Amino acid sequence: MIAGQCLCGPRRSTLGTLPGSVEDPVGDDNGPGTYTYPTGSFDLTGLDVYRDGDLVRFVVATGGEIHNP
């Protein structure tokens, strides 16, 4: 399991059943240190996993809107 808080217990949405969710602290987006990128936007702050039959959807939350430069 990824480090973070698991919000266990299936919930139902239009994306399917949410069997689990993981939160990630804001502001820990340091990258590998070999290049510079805009911080904040690429900071992963959460991950939800939805299941609908054989289909699995991964929905990520980021620290900000991601723009294509």
Which pTM does this prediction carry? 0.62
Q: Rounded to the nearest 5°, which phi and psi values hold at 5?
A: -95, 125
Domain ranges of the chain: 1-26+43-69
- H/E/C letters for each residue in the chain? CCCCCECCCCEEECCEEEEEEEECCCCCCCCCCCCCCCCCCCCEEEEEEEEECCEEEEEEEECCCCCCC
Express each pLDDT in 18-63 by its tens digit: 888 989 888 777 666 676 666 667 788 899 999 999 999 999 998 8
Residue 68 CB burial class (10 angstroms; 0-12, 13-18, ≥19):
exposed
- CA dist 45 and 27 (Å) reads 9
Please say if the pLDDT value at position 11 is more than 60.
Answer: no
